[in-house]
Amino acid sequence: MNITIQCFGAFRPFGEALLISVSHGATVADLHGLFLKKLKEIDPSFDNPILIDNSRFATETTLLASSTLLEEGMQLAVIPPVSGG
């Protein structure tokens, strides 16, 4: 199944949004590795797993826990470390 990840902050150079294929039963915890793999497909020189480890995934209304099950067609956002104000 596929989910869409909207990119923000330091992930903007990879595009507005990325389509990621995930297996049934996958959770948000699995998404970190899948997202890293996707970024490396786009830019093989990308080598910042810490940035992904320090990022969260969210819907428009909530930050998702690592245990959240992914569902077909989910529209999520990747939330790298924030710097507002």
Give DSSP secondary structure letters for 22-81: --TT-BHHHHHHHHHHHHHHH-TT---HHHHHT-EEE-SS-BPPTTPBP-TT-EEEEEPP
The piece of 15-23, 32-40, 41-49, 63-71 that touches other proteins (CB under 8 A) is: 63-71
Is 43 near other proteins (CB under 8 A)? no
The piece of 15-23, 26-34, 40-48, 49-57 that touches other proteins (CB under 8 A) is: 49-57
Is 60 near other proteins (CB under 8 A)? yes
Q: What is the DSSP letter of 84?
A: -
CB of 23 to other proteins, least distance (A): 24
The piece of 14-22, 27-35, 36-44, 72-80 that touches other proteins (CB under 8 A) is: 72-80
Please enumerate, as own/partner, the contacts of 57-64 that have beta carbons within 8 Å and a separation of 24 or more. 57/5, 57/28, 57/31, 64/28
Among 25, 44, 62, 72, binds other proteins (CB under 8 A): 62
